[in-house]
Amino acid sequence: MQFYDAATGKVDYRAWKDHDAALAFGFRDSSDAFYTDVQVGVAFLTPQLWRIEAEVYERKYPNFELDGLIYVNEDGDMWDVGTMFYSRDAVGRAEFLSGKGFDMPYAGQLNDQATRGYHLAGIGYEWTIQEMQRAAKLGRALGSEKAGDATLAAKVFKRSVAMTGRTPGATTSEKNWTGLVNDPNVPVSNVAATGTGTTTAWANKTPDVISKDIWDGVNAVESQTGEVHTATTVGLPTAKLRYIEQTRMTDGSGRIIDFIRGDNAAGGRTIQFVNIRELAGAGASGTDRMMAWDNDRQVAQFHLPGEHTFLAPRQASDMTYSVGGIMNVGGTEIRLPKAVVYRDGI
């Protein structure tokens, strides 16, 4: 039976669910065998899980996606133990020479090697025999909610590790990792104390001064890297981004974000603004943090050699069938920290 329409690229889940319902009805007379025969339970679950997993992986959970924030490196597989990479820097400079001299300067290289370990993580879901029997007796397909919950939990896990190095809700990193918003090698300082009463918070600053704070961070990427890298992206806590989206410049000419973002048609530099909720409270003394960086895979990447994948169902206990879900995660690696800048106290 064909459930995939190549012309539209869509899966006909309604037809698939009807097919699963007919399959479930076929198990109606043998549902009691779920108690004593593992194979009957697995035979009931397996074709339904094909549909469930396909349906779940079609869903999008934008609040936890990493698109636009960091490059996701999926090189490798579920069982890789880590990766090794090399970095190189050129040394040497040209100088004036004497025609009879023996002091020719030569260019050289500084080479470095680093490794990154990967770690297995997982989240799955379960079906009880009671749920399976009821579905079979009623001729109904099993729902996809449990698989969806597991997939969402995996996305929350990956997002938290990528941004902070910590698992969701944790205050410390189990693997001693840091993330995109809190790498200790990234240059960090407070924004200028140019607000009312020499304060740093944007709540006490004019739009013009806020604009300068942002430009100072953007320009720092260029100066720190000797103009090798320029900031392409500015990350802000959601509330701060919404503020500069809605607040006009002092002269009323346009919003703060428009003034910073520029206009390609006019030959200006376009800067992408993204909201990163993990920046709220990430700065010194729990203040909000702004970051500007060259959003390129050479600068920062999140290692995910094994995407979250469901395993085959198995009988986990007398009354339960389980479907494990595993992923191989390597965390966030900022390879060129000077191409990133943090500004605290906003």
Identify the CA nearest to 117 among candidates 322, 303, 326: 303
Pairing status of strand 272-275 against strand 331-334: unpaired
Residue 252 has pLDDT above 90, yes or no: no
Q: So what's the pLDDT on residue 6?
A: 54
Average pLDDT along the chain = 84
> Residues 42-69: pLDDT tens digits?
766 766 676 677 677 666 655 578 888 9
Q: Which residue has the higher pLDDT, 34 or 292?
A: 292
Provide the pLDDT for residue 136.
73
> Looking at the predicted structure, is the pLDDT value of residue 249 above 80?
yes
Bigger pLDDT: 27 vs 143: 143
Q: What separation in angstroms does the CA of 305 have from each of 121, 173, 233?
A: 12, 20, 25
User: Does the pLDDT of residue 33 top 90, yes or no?
Assistant: no
Name the least confident of 44-53, 69-78, 95-104, 332-341: 44-53
Distances (CA, A) of 320 to 123, 126, 153, 330: 16, 7, 21, 32
Q: CB of 210 within 8 A of CB of 202? A: yes
Tokens describing residue 19: 């097919």
Per-residue pLDDT at 93 exceeds 80: no
Q: What is the pLDDT of residues 146-155, one digit of tens each?
A: 888 999 999 9
Give the number of residues written for the chain.
346
Assign 178 a pLDDT band (cuts: 50, 70, 90). very high
**Please, where are the H alpha helices in the chain?**
13-26, 38-58, 129-138, 145-164, 207-224, 238-246, 256-261
Integer Cα distance of 38 and 315 in angstroms: 6
Contacts of 122 (CB under 8 A, 6+ apart): 324, 325, 326, 327
Is the pLDDT assigned to residue 264 strictly greater than 90?
Answer: no
What confidence category does residue 209 fall into, taking pLDDT thresholds of 50, 70 and 90?
A: very high
Position 267 scores a pLDDT of: 46
Q: How confident is the model at residue 270 (pLDDT cuts 50, 70, 90)?
A: confident
